[in-house]
């Protein structure tokens, strides 16, 4: 049987993929419990290590929210979950709802529309360059501090496949100025990157090829000017990343046949769950400590047949407020759309919580930050952002809703320093660590 | 005289630092948003450099906007404060500190020595030509594999998507190498090299049968030359010999070498105008092949490079004409058209179903096909390309003919005359353009205007400032109004009007064509009742005012070119020097993978001249562009700035 080995136990590839190969079947996503990730004592995968490392996930979905359906009226512990937040009912003690954060870099003058500007500012605290983000995104800043010797410095995972968009709309992770890190949107490709099996000798062979490629790059560099040679350097860095991913394959990987992938690539709720499952596997098996998860794109144009909304697309609905042709139902439809986003977020939170690790579970050692490019979607508002932080890494103060006056940069700074010991002095647009998030 | 002035204005002359004090004032005013080489105000005498922050020398070049007799009446001061009419509105508050700083600079310019200023200003002009290290685009990767390996599996179609920058997907600034793309190159190289040698030499890449060292070296040299588009260096040859030798089996060695070559930066990237003079001919060969074929050079082109035949404009022209005569050139031009016209946007467009029941995915395919066919017919039949804007005929299938209300052609996509009553002509009357610039339920005169400015006039319009509400006033049952009237808000609010007077009126002239490009005589508006109300939706048929104009277009009859239909607008564009030059610029951006720079102006002017002289034959434009961008003509003699 075709199989992939992680540690000592086999995980059937078919089993891993059946969740989306059987079209029309009920959504019981086919990932088995993480048996293969456990060690021989039956305790969790990472139990051998004294303290499991903390993991960071930056989670995004496009456009904004309808604040009246999203933001709880009360602050503190006794808040009532709003219609959009209802899917988190079982996880009240694993989350901290933050509202009121500013995204000031979105208001700096410069190229781009409101969505471009807000997206660059949200992820990196810097202005849109006209092509991409102006700096490194929060996940990459944290990865720079904690990635260490993991197989992947970070993972970028995406879901919604609609083709619309420029670089700033399709990418949430940025290695630096104008350097997009595109998300992997296809479950079978993500699976291949993480668990694809290789025959004996493949690793050594691949390394010798990549060594030759690097030597070629070094030769080419000598004949180039500064700007072009930086470009070759970037290529080289990527080649080294690929080499590292290959070199640190677990030694007992075996050959796996190509998956027979016949999934419905428009069934986003299902794909979202498969991608979340794969992300949980990647984090549990120590392949990476940092990931970004892009449910839908910036200024996204997703359609929602499973919610029964097919007349228009996500961004169209955000502006359907009854004041323009297209109907008045947009805001109510947005309520249901936002609830779906939170449902998928809750799914990931639940999966992490159900994955044992050390004396507890994976959620104990994870921090997930859920953001949107805008606060109120219809107005393209970029102050008063609604953010959810989930997971107990760093000792998150959970079970509450807090209104803040700080910036999104302040929040990243607090998460990076308190949950990851990043010792960052600052983050663009931040003035100080957000108070009261942890402890 | 100068000494006396120095004594009179010691503060002004010592304190005014353009870059430190004045440039920020102009930046706050947003002047460069319109006054740049591609801005809507590019026709005026104020033109900010695009490639760098304004320098002292640029500041001094502004003397042309200063009235030396009455500095206070200088345009540099009167325009931004709107003391005289300024299309961009009031950018600097009269009486503000900013105005004071600018006034000091104006007074300095009014008194400084004119000859010195002219010398300094000249220094702010052209910089050196840019070199570029360009990566193969995904389409070029696919075509190269077809021509190099005989592989037509188009593996790059599943690479991470490319981004539109400057309107095209092949632009150098967008070509960064993420680990994911590098990984995709790596897997593709592995797959292709495995296929090539799985059952012996299945793609006939090895030029000999002997399977010895001699044969190995022959393969590495000959295939390496085709893959890297130049001979391998001695160092590279040794490297690949070593790699080849690490496998015992001959074909396994060849496979390993191939796998490495296909992900080498020397394969994936190409240098244009590199420093090693001996390689120049090969770089030109690559440039020509990727510009005109979107693929790798053939043997004849590499040989021409080896023989030094590409070392002159005439040599480049000869090869360019040969390449354009091949079918492969059609592929390259097709890609240009799809990007320039953003035909990709038709894919996945949706429309309100009750309002547009005839809108189907098949119809969007026909829309793209029509625009592509008209352009290709003009290009390859060597017609006047400017007819792309003014042609009173088109290439329709029966669905489109029905949408346009004209008689269907006997065969799909054959030439059909468009009667005058349709008021359609050229791309402006095509459903592709009219649809991609509309919203799901209504047209957007703003999007149509922007598209015309950006794609057809090469003018970049600044985006609305952050935080501005872009919502339009509602339509009510009591006061149903047209889109034009609702957009009127743009024109009556001063902060919006400065840009929207340049944009919306273009779309107003196209309002007789709905969100899928069908003709309408009136605007049908439905006002939905309040939720929970028992009222029925209210329906109205509103009269359409289709008077439009192109503000600021340099034309013979004043500053605003008026029109009422796509046909009239098309005629204006086809005859406009700005639009003709824009076609040149767009082709340049596509061929060169970057925005034009000051150093390219001589090549661009020469190409525009030759394009015009040929009666706007597009293949002639391509020949001129590859020729003059490779060997730039001498810069035109500077002429006095007299344009207003």
Q: What is the DSSP string of A200-232?
A: TTHHHHHHHHHHHHHHHHHHHHHTS-HHHHHHH
The distance of A56 to chain B (nearest Cα, Å) reads 20
Distance in angstroms (rounded) separating the CA atoms of residues B176 and A180: 7
What proportion of chain A, given as a percentage, has pLDDT over 70? Answer: 82
What are the start-end ranges of the H helices in B357-440?
361-380, 387-390, 398-404, 431-436
Contact A235 B275 (CB under 8 A): no
For testing contact with chain B, the best of A179, A204, A209, A238 (most B CBs within 10 A): A209
pLDDT digits (tens, 9 = 90+) for A292-345: 999 999 998 888 989 998 878 888 888 877 665 556 678 889 999 999 999 999
Cβ atoms A167, A131 nearer than 8 A: yes
What proportion of chain B, given as a percentage, has pLDDT over 90? Answer: 56
Cβ atoms A6, A37 nearer than 8 A: yes
In a domain, B584, yes or no: no
Confidence of residue A32 (pLDDT cuts 50, 70, 90): very low
Instruction: Kindly list the residues from chain B whose CB atom is less than 8 angstroms away from the CB atom of residue A225.
Output: 131, 275
pLDDT, average across residues A65-76: 95
Indicate if the pLDDT at residue B636 is higher than 90.
no
In a domain, B603, yes or no: no
Average pLDDT score over chain B: 87
Distance in angstroms (rounded) separating the CA atoms of residues B161 and A170: 9
pLDDT digits (tens, 9 = 90+) for B46-73: 888 766 677 777 888 888 888 888 888 8
> Are B276 and B397 within one domain?
no
Structure tokens at B322: 């040969």
Indicate if the pLDDT at residue B11 is higher than 50.
no
> Are B136 and B101 within one domain?
no
> Are B118 and B170 within one domain?
no
**Chain B CB within 8 Å of residue A238 CB:** yes
Distance in angstroms (rounded) separating the CA atoms of residues B227 and B615: 39
Confidence of residue B545 (pLDDT cuts 50, 70, 90): very high
CB pairs under 8 A between A and B: 184
pLDDT digits (tens, 9 = 90+) for B605-616: 999 999 999 999
Structure tokens at A232: 């070759």
Indicate if the pLDDT at residue A46 is higher than 60.
no
**Chain B CB within 8 Å of residue A311 CB:** yes
Strands A290-294 and A155-158: parallel
CA atoms within 13 A on the CB side of B393: 12
Q: Report which of residues B187 and B639 the model is more confident about.
A: B187
Q: Which of B510, B544, B574 is the last residue of a domain?
A: B574
CA atoms within 13 A on the CB side of A223: 21
- Predicted pLDDT of residue A250: 55
Indicate if the pLDDT at residue A9 is higher than 90.
no
Contact B471 A182 (CB under 8 A): no
> Are B137 and B90 within one domain?
no
In a domain, B631, yes or no: no
Distance in angstroms (rounded) separating the CA atoms of residues B21 and B56: 11
- Predicted pLDDT of residue B119: 65
Phi, psi for A372 (deg, rounded to 5)? -125, 160
Cβ atoms A44, A358 nearer than 8 A: yes
- Predicted pLDDT of residue A176: 92
In a domain, B443, yes or no: yes
pLDDT, average across residues B442-459: 94
For testing contact with chain A, the best of B185, B232, B255, B265 (most A CBs within 10 A): B265
> Are B287 and B374 within one domain?
no
> Are B108 and B175 within one domain?
no
- Predicted pLDDT of residue B373: 97
- Number of structural domains chain B divides into: 3
Residue in chain B nearest A118 by alpha carbon: B466
**Chain A CB within 8 Å of residue B350 CB:** yes
- Predicted pLDDT of residue A45: 43
- Predicted pLDDT of residue B14: 42
> Are B98 and B182 within one domain?
no
Cβ atoms B54, B19 nearer than 8 A: yes
Residue in chain B nearest A164 by alpha carbon: B345
- Predicted pLDDT of residue A264: 67
3-state secondary structure of A185: coil
Structure tokens at A238: 């990527």
- Predicted pLDDT of residue A258: 43
pLDDT, average across residues B394-418: 94
CA distances from A392 to A54, A153, A245, A349, A402 (A): 9, 22, 28, 11, 17
Candidate ranges B47-51, B381-385, B499-503; pick with highest mean pLDDT: B381-385
Average pLDDT score over chain A: 83
In a domain, B597, yes or no: no
Indicate if the pLDDT at residue A359 is higher than 70.
yes
Q: How many CB atoms lie within 10 A of CB A307?
A: 13
Distance in angstroms (rounded) separating the CA atoms of residues B113 and B125: 20
Indicate if the pLDDT at residue B362 is higher than 70.
yes
Output the CA torsion sign for B513, B515, B517, B523: negative
**Chain B CB within 8 Å of residue A265 CB:** no
pLDDT digits (tens, 9 = 90+) for A418-435: 999 999 999 999 999 999
Contact B441 A326 (CB under 8 A): yes
* Lowest-pLDDT range of A148-162, B11-25, B391-405, B447-461: B11-25
Which residue among B164, B350, B441 sits closest to A166, beta carbon to beta carbon? Answer: B164
> Are B283 and B378 within one domain?
no
For testing contact with chain B, the best of A219, A325, A373 (most B CBs within 10 A): A325
- Give one word for A33, left, alpha or beta, with left for phi > 0 and alpha for psi -120 to 50: beta
> Are B557 and B505 within one domain?
yes
> Are B421 and B516 within one domain?
yes
3-state secondary structure of B205: coil
Q: Report which of residues B410 and B476 the model is more confident about.
A: B410
Instruction: Kindly list the residues from chain B whose CB atom is less than 8 angstroms away from the CB atom of residue A112.
Output: 463
3-state secondary structure of B405: coil
Output the CA torsion sign for B243, B249, B250, B255: negative
- Its domain, for residue B370, covers 343-574
pLDDT, average across residues B395-401: 96
Distance in angstroms (rounded) separating the CA atoms of residues B355 and A198: 54
This model of the complex carries an ipTM of 0.81
- Predicted pLDDT of residue A43: 38
**Chain B CB within 8 Å of residue A209 CB:** yes
Indicate if the pLDDT at residue B587 is higher than 60.
yes
pLDDT, average across residues B630-635: 83
Indicate if the pLDDT at residue A55 is higher than 80.
yes
Cβ atoms B286, A239 nearer than 8 A: no
The distance of B264 to chain A (nearest Cα, Å) reads 5
In a domain, B476, yes or no: yes
SS (H, E, C) A238-301: HHHHHHHHHHCCCCCCCCCCCCCCCCCCCCHHHHHHHHHHHHHHHHHCCCCCEEEEECCCCCCC
In a domain, B634, yes or no: no
Q: Which of B574, B602, B618 is the last residue of a domain?
A: B574
Residue B415 pairs with which residues in a beta bridge? B395
> Are B307 and B357 within one domain?
no
> Are B347 and B284 within one domain?
no
Strands B132-135 and B269-272: antiparallel
Confidence of residue B604 (pLDDT cuts 50, 70, 90): very high
Distance in angstroms (rounded) separating the CA atoms of residues A119 and A105: 10
Cβ atoms A246, A207 nearer than 8 A: yes
Distance in angstroms (rounded) separating the CA atoms of residues B582 and B400: 29
In a domain, B51, yes or no: yes
Cβ atoms B176, A180 nearer than 8 A: yes
Confidence of residue B236 (pLDDT cuts 50, 70, 90): very high
């Amino acid at each position: 049987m075709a199989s992939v080995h992680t540690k000592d136990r086999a995980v059937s590839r078919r089993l891993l993929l059946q969740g989306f190969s059987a079209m029309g079947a009920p959504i019981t996503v086919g990932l088995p419990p993480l048996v293969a990730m456990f060690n021989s004592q039956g305790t969790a995968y990472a139990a051998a290590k004294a303290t499991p490392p903390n993991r960071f996930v930056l989670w995004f979905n496009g456009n904004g929210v309808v604040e009246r359906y999203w933001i709880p009226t009360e602050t503190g512990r006794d808040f009532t979950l709003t219609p959009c937040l209802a899917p988190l009912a079982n996880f009240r003690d694993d989350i901290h709802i933050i509202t009121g954060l500013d995204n000031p870099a979105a208001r700096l003058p410069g190229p781009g529309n409101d969505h471009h500007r807000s997206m660059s500012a949200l992820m990196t605290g810097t202005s849109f360059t006209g092509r991409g983000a102006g700096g490194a995104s929060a996940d990459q800043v944290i990865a720079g501090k904690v990635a260490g010797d993991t197989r992947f410095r970070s993972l970028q995972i995406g879901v919604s496949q609609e083709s619309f968009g420029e670089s700033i709309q399709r990418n949430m992770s940025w290695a630096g100025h104008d350097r997009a890190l595109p998300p992997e949107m296809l479950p079978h490709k993500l699976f291949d990157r993480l668990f694809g099996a290789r025959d004996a000798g493949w690793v050594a062979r691949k390394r010798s090829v990549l060594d030759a490629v690097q030597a070629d790059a070094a030769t080419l560099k000598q004949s180039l000017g500064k700007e072009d040679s930086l470009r070759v350097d970037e290529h080289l860095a990527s080649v080294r990343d690929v080499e590292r991913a290959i070199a640190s394959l677990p030694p007992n990987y075996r050959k796996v046949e190509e998956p027979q992938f016949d999934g419905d690539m428009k069934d986003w709720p299902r794909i979202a769950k498969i991608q979340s499952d794969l992300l949980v596997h990647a984090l549990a098996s120590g392949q990476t400590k940092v990931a970004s998860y892009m449910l839908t794109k910036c200024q996204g144009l997703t359609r929602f047949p499973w919610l029964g909304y097919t007349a228009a697309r996500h961004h169209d609905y955000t502006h359907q407020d009854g004041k323009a042709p297209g109907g008045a139902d947009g805001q109510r439809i947005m309520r249901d759309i936002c609830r779906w986003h939170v449902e998928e977020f809750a799914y990931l939170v639940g999966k992490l919580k159900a994955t044992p690790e050390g004396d507890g579970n994976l959620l104990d050692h994870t921090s997930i930050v859920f953001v949107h490019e805008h606060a109120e979607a219809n107005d393209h508002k970029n102050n008063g952002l609604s953010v959810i932080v989930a997971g107990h890494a760093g000792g998150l103060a959970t079970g509450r809703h807090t209104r803040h006056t700080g910036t999104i940069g302040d929040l990243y700074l607090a998460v990076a320093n308190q949950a990851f010991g990043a010792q960052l002095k600052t983050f663009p647009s931040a003035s100080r660590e957000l108070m009261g998030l942890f402890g | 005289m100068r000494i006396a002035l120095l004594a009179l204005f010691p503060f002004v002359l010592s304190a005014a630092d353009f870059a430190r004090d004045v440039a920020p004032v102009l930046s706050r005013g947003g002047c460069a948003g319109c006054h740049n080489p591609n801005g809507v105000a590019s026709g005026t005498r104020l033109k900010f450099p695009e490639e760098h922050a304004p320098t002292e020398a640029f500041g001094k070049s502004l003397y042309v906007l200063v009235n030396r007799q009455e500095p206070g009446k200088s345009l540099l001061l009167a325009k931004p404060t709107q003391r005289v009419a300024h299309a961009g509105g009031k950018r600097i508050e009269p009486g503000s500190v900013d105005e004071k700083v600018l006034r000091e600079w104006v007074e300095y310019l009014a008194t400084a020595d004119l000859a010195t200023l002219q010398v300094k200003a000249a220094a702010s002009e052209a910089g050196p030509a840019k070199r570029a290290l360009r990566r193969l685009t995904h389409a070029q990767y696919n075509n190269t594999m077809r021509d190099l390996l005989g592989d037509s599996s188009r593996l790059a179609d599943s690479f991470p998507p490319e981004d539109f920058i400057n309107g095209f997907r092949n632009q150098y600034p967008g070509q960064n190498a993420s680990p994911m793309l590098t990984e995709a190159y790596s897997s593709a190289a592995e797959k292709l090299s495995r296929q090539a040698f799985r059952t012996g030499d299945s793609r006939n890449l090895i030029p000999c049968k002997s399977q010895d060292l001699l044969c190995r070296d022959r393969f590495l040299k000959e295939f390496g030359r085709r893959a890297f588009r130049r001979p391998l260096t001695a160092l590279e040859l040794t490297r690949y010999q070593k790699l080849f030798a690490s496998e015992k089996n001959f074909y396994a060695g060849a496979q390993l070498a191939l796998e490495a070559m296909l992900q080498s930066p020397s394969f994936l990237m190409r240098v244009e105008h590199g420093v090693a003079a001996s390689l120049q001919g090969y770089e030109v060969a690559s440039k020509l092949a990727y510009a005109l074929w979107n693929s790798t050079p053939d043997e004849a082109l590499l040989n021409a490079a080896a023989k030094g035949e590409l070392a002159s404009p005439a040599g480049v022209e000869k090869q360019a004409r040969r390449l354009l005569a091949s079918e492969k050139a059609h592929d390259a031009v097709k890609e240009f058209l799809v990007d320039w016209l953003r035909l990709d946007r038709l894919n996945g467009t949706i429309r309100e179903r009750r309002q547009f029941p005839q809108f189907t995915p098949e119809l969007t395919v026909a829309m793209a096909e029509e625009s592509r066919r008209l352009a290709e017919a003009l290009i390859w039949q060597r017609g006047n390309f400017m007819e792309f804007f003014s042609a009173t005929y088109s290439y329709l299938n029966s669905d489109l003919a029905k949408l346009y209300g004209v008689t269907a052609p006997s065969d799909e996509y054959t030439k059909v005359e468009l009667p005058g009553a349709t008021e359609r002509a050229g791309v402006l009357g095509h459903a592709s353009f009219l649809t991609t610039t509309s919203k799901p339920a209504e047209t957007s005169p703003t999007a149509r205007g922007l598209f015309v400015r950006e794609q057809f006039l090469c003018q970049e319009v600044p985006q609305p400032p952050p935080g501005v509400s872009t919502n339009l006033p509602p339509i009510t049952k009591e006061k149903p109004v047209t889109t034009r009237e609702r957009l009127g808000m743009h024109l009556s609010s001063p902060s919006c009007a400065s840009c929207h007077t340049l944009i919306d009126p273009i779309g107003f002239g196209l309002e007789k064509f709905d969100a899928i490009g069908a003709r309408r005589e009136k605007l049908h508006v439905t006002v939905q009742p309040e939720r929970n109300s028992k009222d029925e939706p209210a329906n109205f048929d509103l009269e359409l005012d289709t008077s439009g104009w192109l503000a600021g277009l340099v034309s013979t009859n004043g500053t605003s070119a008026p029109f009422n239909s796509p046909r009239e607008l098309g005629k204006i564009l086809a005859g406009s020097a700005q639009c003709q030059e824009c076609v040149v610029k767009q082709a340049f951006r596509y061929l060169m993978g970057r925005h034009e720079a000051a150093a390219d102006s001589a090549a661009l002017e020469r190409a525009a001249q030759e394009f015009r002289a040929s009666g706007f034959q597009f293949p002639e434009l391509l020949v001129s562009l590859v020729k003059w961008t490779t060997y730039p003509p001498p810069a035109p003699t500077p002429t006095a700035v007299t344009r207003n």
